[in-house]
Structure 1
Amino acid sequence: MKQVLVTLMVSATIQFAFGPEGRALAAFDLVQHGAPTCSIVIAEEPTPAARLAALELQCHIMQMTGAEIPIRSEGEHIDGRRILVGESSATRQLGLRGVNFQPQEYLVAFRQDAIILMGRDWQDTEVNRKAQGRSTTDQTLQQLRHRIDYWKAVGYPHRSAGEMELPGIFDDQGTCLAVYDFLERFCGVRWYGPSQLNTVIPSRTTLTVAGADVRRSPALKHRSALAGGSWPFLRGQWGDYTQEQVYLHWRRMRQGGERWAGNHTFHRNTIKTVFNDPEYQCKNPRGLGSQLCYTNPKLISQVAQMARDYFDGKGELPEGWKAMGDYFAIVPDDNIHLCTCEACQALLEKGRDRKTGFFSSGEMSEYWFSFVNAVAREVRRTHPDNYIATLAYWSYAFAPDFDLEPNVSVAPCLHTCYYPVHAEMKENDLRFYRQWQEKSDAPMFLWVYYHHPMEPALIDRWKCFPHVMVHETARAMQMFI
């Protein structure tokens, strides 16, 4: 079966900017000879995304031209041309409302007297604030609504207006997407890292833009990469930066998108606090406390009920668990000290001949995905539209011989950082990736590695040739989009 990746979105729709009679619109002046020629307009109570987007637009144009385009609210009297950032009474008069955009969809539009930059934005309501979820990096949705002093983060501490809350990483922020697209596409801005040193902003005294309307969504539906920004190889590539700059950089890189999480969920912390029933503890002394007996019916029932409770919005997820949106993750700990009971060993025996000689193999696939299927089967009875998420990783990278339940969503783990130099590893990866394409019609995500060999080099202090692989990365993305 042909697998449709959940990491894909609908194709971009591009509409050319024409006036009522079909004539192309004239160029739009934002700054002339160092003086602003328009105003940025936001709602009286802008969404978190619109608030940040307006500041980002103002700041980057100021850094580019020296001119400060004023930010005004919709209730003020405004003369001249306007840049409408986010939904407001002005966009509604044009028939444009955020609620009419699809998730992650945004618009960059040119009109005779206005530029429109808006999209689908998360609304700050009590219900939205209460939404549950823990990310792949074990952060709650609320923890991912970072707070920063914006002007301090961008290098103008004297302009500080105190802290502001950024749009959550996994909250809709279409207006931010529109502004970042505009800054890249029409202003030539590029962000290669979080600090000013990593940012490219062209210098000019006059800024005039023109082009086609763009209404689209990102091609990759879920985008997440080391949200903490603390891995050594990032420090090596980016140099000095602050945590606030990292938080801002993730928005500029459009991190977030559809809510999904997948990482190790059964580990010492969750086994100690949640899955501590003696009946289903791992019979292998080396795995005791980090693995469980994944054939035990009581464990299957408990995990299935935990998933139901999550989907029903009952209680908080335990620290160390991962689940977001329609996806509840189950992934074993990062070791192979597995249970030695008769039932577990019978399934493990089926994978003895599935070694590949590479990190990714199928020795554990029959065992692990039997457990995943059992949980998914229980959950599907009450929540057929939700998914059990898991990884295809290490000794359970390859698909099992049996069919998966339709509500199992798999994320193959691919070593894309080695593809330029290790053709055999690439081929092994693509073998199990294609297996999963054929095996399941459920949404698929990808976990791609890009931290080798620079990461171990920085940790162990050996010399590593700079691992910049822009062309190979582009080719890999084209494979999966």
Structure 2
Amino acid sequence: MEGTRAPGSSALPMKLRFFASILAAVVFPASGATALDLVRDGSPAAVIATADDAPPVVAYAAQELAWHIEKATGARLPVVSESQLHKTSPAVCIHLGDTAAAHAAGIESRLLPPETFVLRSTPAALIIAGGDGLGEPLGTGTPGGTLFGVYEFLERELGVIWAWPGELGTYVPKKPDLAVRDEVDLTLAPPFLQRHVRGGLSFKGKFAELGFTPAAAEAYAREQAVFLRRHRMGKRERISYGHVFPKWWEQYGAEHPEWFQLHNGKRGPAKPGASYSMCVSNPGLHQKLVALWLEQRAKNPPEPGAASYLNACENGVLGLCECDDCLAWDGPRPDDYDDFYAAKSKMKGSRFVTDRYVKYWLAVQAEARRTDPGVVVIAYNYYNYFHAPTPGLKLNANFLIGSYPSGGGFPRSPEKNAWYRRQWLGWRDTGARLFSRGNQCLDGYTMPHIYAHEFSEEFRFMAENGMVATDYDALTGQWAAHGPNIYALMRLHVTPAARTDAILDRYYSVFGPAAALVKEYFTYWENYTRDNRARLEGVFEEINVSRSRNWPVAAHRVHPPECFAPAEAILARAAQAAAGDPEAAARVEFLRAGLSHSRLCARISELLTTADPRSTLARGRTALDELIAFRRAHEREWIANFNHCAWEESTSWVLTDAPRKQ
């Protein structure tokens, strides 16, 4: 798309949020209705108009609309400001954003909640107007109601599918004519107050040659940001959170050691630089958190009518405090607490501390409510306070709790899935609002590790049971290897009620005449992933490394050479089926490149794994050079985020001649 693309509240009724597809069927009349011609016989029949003072996100929406229509029809609709319309006198106009035409149609877009949009037709116009912000168009903190309305229009009327970043991953059906059915009247907002999938762009390995070149990394980041916005990533409330306390020991430890964990008879970290938890029962800690929140609130007050969020997220470590007050806040250890953690997991045998954290959050909220009764406390349930609290212990709707399981990657046994769902329901029953803060998307490395159905079922379960926001960590960018997983993740943020097979069939359709064979290909890998669950779990438990950080240590054991041949044969047949369709053929080659990449990485994992004392750089040097050459040749195709690959590989492979610790 380079050279043709422009630079770059939550209490809606449940029907709007979860049954948008049903609503749309009602408000878009049958095809027999009269039409507004936008393109006729490959020539423009309409213009796109924005307000003279349109914010950047609306200007960007106009360029996105014009580009996709041109890709479909070959005709580029002019984009003009509303004051210039008299010079063109178009028969049909698409008005974007807060225009005079929108006002005349009764749409006051500046009064719409952030990200909400209206699609409405008149006899000679289509109006797309939404709640917009003033920030960067691709910034997920910039409300983009009009932009989201454009994407809704492109999906509904043009059949656009964004399967992966870049032009090859953008499917736009070709048509010489484009007309909009009239009497359109649709008001929608994204289904969650925040939709966030972390981009995975900060991960970089120590060995730069394994990653992108700097120019390719910059281009990849841009294409991924465009892709994420097209899937409506953003937020309509100013939510900010994260681990609060990493620097507190240096700042406050000397004066207030009582705020920090008492563990093995010592306050604070066990050794300099070590992680630590807090003494969450301490009233002084609660008061300090609230004081800091008030300082920040004074500098950056919430917008009128918006909630003020107080971040109370603990550090990324087990709750370890053993002081009498914290222990007194703990409840009885649940019988199933240890049932689904690996034997070597730090969770196995840990103390159940959920109840103390619930009481800590309540105490912080009570302190903050002295100033703002509407304050919303945001926190993670994590590690040994992930398990649901003791029944009867209640929070309220002014808590936003991020469900943050330790582990929990797919595939899982039915019993383990049921256990995770019980924890979600237990938290829901406290009365808190919930968001998904899982790390499952970090799993799989470059291997074809497919779990789209299992993930989708869990996402829908959470959406149907109190999930109001998401924050997934993170995109590893394995677009060719994990395509169905990532597309399901994206699409469920737009249509959370959609069935998994309908979502995946939509993804497979971009492969044209090869769609059925691509489905067969990914079904092979999804079956392989499910059927080899015991192998996967056993290997990683044996070597005791993180699946989200150190997959390359064991990729060759989870995906041995013999597993690739059946998949290669399916893709060879897919290439034959797509031979007469250049665009579909290119997409099949995209998958074939991804599979070659997977196989190369598995081979090098066998030669250079840090789990084998025989590994030396010399042993894998030839294969490593082949991988680096492959990545240079394919780095502009976006088959994978090579920087993320390099980050995992840097701690999983023997990449220097330096002596190794035994």
Task: Please indicate, yes or no, whether the TM-score normalized by the shorter chain is above 0.5.
Answer: yes
Aligned to 2:261: 282
Matched, 1:341 2:323: yes
Cα distance in 2, alignment partners of residues 252 and 89 from structure 1:
26
How far is 1:6 from its partner? 7.1
The answer to whether residue 445 in structure 2 is matched with residue 435 in structure 1 is no
- Letter matched to residue 433 of structure 2: P
Distance in 2 (CA, whole Å) between partners of 1:410 and 1:273 is 27
Question: Which residue in the other structure is 1:473 paired with?
Answer: 456
SS in 1 for 2:380: strand
> Given the alignment of the two structures, is residue 368 of structure 1 paired with residue 396 of structure 2, yes or no?
no
Larger Rg: 2
Which has the higher relative contact order, 1 or 2, with Cα contacts under 8 A spaced 6 or more apart?
1
User: 3-state DSSP class of the match of 1:197?
Assistant: coil
Q: Given the alignment, which residue of 69, 79, 92 partners 2:103?
A: 92
Find out whether 1:426 has 2:417 as its counterpart.
yes
TM-superposed CA distance for 1:167, in Å, is 5.6
Aligned to 1:244: 222
CA distance in 1, matches of 2:353, 2:199: 30
How do 1:390-469 and structure 2 match up within 5 A? 390-401=379-390, 402-404=393-395, 407-413=398-404, 418=409, 421-440=412-431, 442-451=432-441, 453-454=443-444, 457-458=445-446, 464-467=447-450, 469=452
**More divergent stretch after superposition (286-295 vs 186-195):** 286-295
Q: Structure 1 residues 311, 376: CA separation in 2 closer, same or farther (over 3 Å shift)?
A: same
Contact 2:319/2:384, CA 8 A, preserved across alignment: no
- Provide Cα deviations, 1:83-132, integer angstroms capped at 9, x if missing partner: 1111112222222220342332211222221111111112x4xxxxxxxx
The two structures, once aligned, show a CA RMSD in angstroms of: 3.5
Q: What is the match of residue 75 of structure 1?
A: 83
Q: Which amino acid is 1:283 matched to?
A: L
Matched ranges for 1:96-175 at <5 A: 96-122=107-133, 124=134, 145=135, 165-166=136-137, 168-175=139-146
CA distance in 2, matches of 1:394, 1:176: 38
Q: TM-score, normalization: structure 1?
A: 0.75
Unaligned runs of 5+ in 2: 1-9, 205-210, 264-268, 342-346, 465-662
Counterpart in the other structure of 2:55? 47
From 66, 80, 96, give the equivalent of 2:74: 66
Aligned pair 1:258/2:266, yes or no? no
- Secondary structure of 1:183's match? helix
How much has 1:428 moved relative to structure 2?
A: 1.1
2:138–2:226 Cα contact (<8 Å) kept: no
* TM-superposition CA deviations, 1:271-320 (whole Å, max 9, x none): 4346764332333343766322222221111012222333444699xxxx
Query: How far apart are the structure 2 equivalents of 1:334 and 1:415?
Result: 10
- AA at the equivalent of 2:230: R
Q: Amino acid of the residue matched to residue 260 of structure 2?
A: Q
For 1:404, the aligned partner's letter is L
Equivalent position of 2:149 in the other structure: 178
Aligned to 2:3: none
Amino acid at match of 2:262: K
For residue 468 of structure 1, report the CA deviation from its aligned partner: 5.0
Deviation sequence 1:135-182 (CA, Å, 0-9, x none): xxxxxxxxxx5xxxxxxxxxxxxxxxxxxx326413321101100000
* 1:42 shift after superposition: 0.5
Question: Percent identity between the aligned chains?
Answer: 23
Q: Which amino acid aligns with 1:339?
A: C
Residue aligning to 1:213: 185
Q: CA deviation at 1:216?
A: 1.4
Q: Aligned-pair distance for 1:54?
A: 0.3
Please tell me whether residue 304 in structure 1 is matched to residue 304 in structure 2.
no
In the alignment, is the contact (CA less than 8 A) between 1:416 and 1:473 conserved in 2?
A: no
AA matched with 2:312? I
For the structure 1 residues 57 and 375, does the alpha-carbon distance in structure 2 shift closer, same or farther, using more than 3 Å as the test? same
Asked if 2 retains the 8 angstrom alpha-carbon contact of 1:222 and 1:260, the reply is no
| C-alpha contact (below 8 Å) 1:412/1:445 kept by paired residues | yes
The separation in 2 between residues aligned to 1:475 and 1:343, in whole angstroms, is: 37
More deviation, 45-54/357-366: 357-366
Q: Deviations over 1:31-63 (max 9, x none)?
A: 222211110000101022211110100111122
In the alignment, which residue of structure 2 is the partner of 1:223?
Answer: 195
Is the Cα contact below 8 Å between 1:86 and 1:118 reproduced in 2? yes
SS of residue in 1 equivalent to 2:441: coil
| Structure 1 pair 406–184 and aligned structure 2 pair: CA distance change class (3 A) | closer
2:128 aligned partner, one-letter code: L
- 1:331 is displaced (CA, Å) by 1.6
Residue 129 of structure 1: aligned partner: none
The letter for the 1-side match of 2:270 is R
User: Aligned equivalents of 2:403 and 2:12: distance in 1?
Assistant: 12
Distance 2:169 2:408 in 1: 22
Q: What's the CA shift string for 1:400-430, capped at 9, x where partnerless?
A: 3333366333232369985654212211111
Number of aligned residues: 415
| Distance 1:267-1:470 versus aligned 2 partners, 3 A rule | same
The 3-state SS of whatever aligns with 2:83 is: coil
CA shift in 2, pair 1:206/1:230, >3 Å: farther
> Residue 434 of structure 2 aligns to a residue in which SS?
coil
